[in-house]
Amino acid sequence: MVLYNNDSRKSVSVLMLLLGLFVIAAASDGKTSPVEDGLVVNGDFETPPSNGFTDDTTVQDATEIPSWRSDGTVELIKSGQKQGGMILIVPEGRHAVRLGNDAEISQELTVEKGFIYSVTFSAARTCAQLESLNVSVASDEPIASQTIDLQTLYSVQGWDPYAWAFEAVEDRVRLVFRNPGMEDDPTCGPIIDDIAVKKLFTPDKPKGNAVVNGDFEEGPWMFRNTTLGVLLPTNLDEETSSLPGWTVESNRAVRFIDSDHFSVPQGKRAVELLSGKEGIISQMVETKANVPYKMSFSLGHAGDKCKEPLAVMAFAGDQAQNFHYMAEANSSFEVSELNFTAKADRTRIAFYSVYYNTRTDDMSSLCGPVIDDVRVWFSGSSRIGFGFPVLVLVLALVFV
């Protein structure tokens, strides 16, 4: 039924009323929207508990930390807090969480089933050099888990941002951070802060290039105010990588960097190779057996005061070559190329830093060469897509 005024124009519509009722019903059907990219709820631990931030930092109740559930010896520490003669490190802001022996914190997340999600977080060790942190997601059953070694400090600041990825096999998961260690002091354990998530998408292969995400533009969440990039620890499962298309093969991390804080050859993202042979990234690209190919990549300096020389070892199939970065006044990078003949329908390409480099200003923060814009194409064709027949046609037209 529709009501009309004297001018025969619609004034009130039952349809509009029904639409309004539908919107209200949809908003109250109990369903939660999937988590958005960025900080999870209270991911920086700056939301005060119901009794406020107190001098007693030990969490007494499982639900004391807003939006989180804790189990075991968990501390809500504050910046400047001391333990003995040591000042505890809070990566960002004024508060963070420390996990004691076999302690954990967890949060329920609504996700989209079938998608890959990357979890970014900041972590620091405290009492023990061999501390580690287990990150996992679970539903009714465990879904994915990885223990990340915190022994190596990549930054002189004493903490580092990390990323870890998982596939959402359910719409509702529980994100868990647990300290698997057992120290003499039960309060010793890793500190975590700034927890964020990002739904990842695997980019399509560009035309004429066999490399997926060769420009490294798709990757984990990065905080704008974090100047350390994001470390990508060992991950041999290319299907659930925080850097789509790529795997980290070695026992140390590589660094995902952005153009806001580093020199990047092209676009907004790139990868900095750390720790020599202990920091390898690789990808299996589609090829055709017995066909010649060419691999090219941009090699450069991150602009982070990394001590030279800088060099990478590049692999393509059975070919390997050492490439040194030679700084030029008008450029922070150069393009390098490697020719190879494919032996099968998939060919491994890989990179690692030849040297163990540190920054010249503190002599302890790890750094290394930057790679970007990785391409693999049939060497009988041109990168800009003009094959030999087209070239002949163009020349014929020119000289007619």
More confident residue, 90 or 8: 90
What span, in angstroms and rounded, lies between the C-alpha atoms of 277 and 157? 24
What is the model's pLDDT at position 326? 83
- pLDDT of 312 strictly over 60: yes
What is the model's pLDDT at position 31? 63
Q: What is the per-residue pLDDT across 107-131, written as a single tens digit (0 to 9) for each?
A: 999 999 999 999 999 999 998 778 9
Q: Coil, strand, or helix at residue 387?
A: coil
What span, in angstroms and rounded, lies between the C-alpha atoms of 53 and 32? 29
What is the model's pLDDT at position 127? 84
Give the pLDDT band (50/70/90) at residue 238.
confident
Burial 69-83 (b: 16+ CB within 10 A, else e): bbebbbbbbbeebee
What span, in angstroms and rounded, lies between the C-alpha atoms of 280 and 247? 8
- pLDDT of 33 strictly over 50: yes
Q: Coil, strand, or helix at residue 396?
A: helix
Pick the CATH number of 33-200 from 3.10.25.10, 2.70.70.10, 2.60.120.260, 1.20.140.10: 2.60.120.260
What span, in angstroms and rounded, lies between the C-alpha atoms of 289 and 287? 7
Give the pLDDT band (50/70/90) at residue 221.
very high
Overall average pLDDT of the 169-191 stretch: 90
Cβ 370 vs Cβ 265: under 8 Å = yes
Cβ 151 vs Cβ 133: under 8 Å = no
- Judged by average pLDDT, the poorest of 8-12, 149-153, 155-159, 326-330 is 8-12
- pLDDT of 393 strictly over 50: no
Give the pLDDT band (50/70/90) at residue 188.
confident
Identity of the residue numbered 85: G
Q: What is the per-residue pLDDT across 46-68, written as a single tens digit (0 to 9) for each?
A: 999 999 999 889 999 999 999 99
What is the model's pLDDT at position 389? 40
Overall average pLDDT of the 202-226 stretch: 93
Q: How far is CA 83 from CA 52, 79, 97, 241, 380, in A?
A: 21, 12, 14, 37, 64
Give the pLDDT band (50/70/90) at residue 383.
very low
Q: Coil, strand, or helix at residue 193?
A: strand
Distance of CA 236 to the CA centre of its chain: 15
What is the model's pLDDT at position 32? 77
What is the model's pLDDT at position 191? 96
Q: What is the per-residue pLDDT across 324-373, written as a single tens digit (0 to 9) for each?
A: 998 776 678 999 999 999 999 999 999 999 999 999 999 999 999 999 99
Q: Is the peptide bond before 49 cis (omega within 30 degrees of 0)?
A: no
What is the model's pLDDT at position 258? 97
Q: The pTM is what?
A: 0.86
What is the model's pLDDT at position 30? 52
Overall average pLDDT of the 8-12 stretch: 43
Largest distance between two CA atoms of the chain: 88
Pairing outcome for strands 370-378 and 254-258: unpaired
Q: Judge if 33-200 and 205-381 fold alike in CATH terms.
A: yes
Q: Which residues contact 199 (CB under 8 A, 6 or more apart)?
A: 34, 37, 111, 112, 115, 116, 117
- Judged by average pLDDT, the poorest of 17-26, 61-70, 77-86 is 17-26
Q: What is the per-residue pLDDT across 256-309, written as a single tens digit (0 to 9) for each?
A: 999 999 999 999 999 999 989 999 999 999 999 999 999 999 999 999 999 999
Q: Coil, strand, or helix at residue 111?
A: coil
CATH architecture entry for 205-381: Sandwich (2.60)
Cβ 96 vs Cβ 45: under 8 Å = yes
What is the model's pLDDT at position 21? 42
- Judged by average pLDDT, the poorest of 156-160, 218-222, 225-229, 295-299 is 225-229
What span, in angstroms and rounded, lies between the C-alpha atoms of 126 and 129? 8
Task: Locate the domains of the chain by residue range.
Answer: 33-200, 205-381
What is the model's pLDDT at position 84? 78
Give the pLDDT band (50/70/90) at residue 93.
very high
Instruction: Indicate the helix (H) or strand (E) that contains 323.
Output: strand 319-324
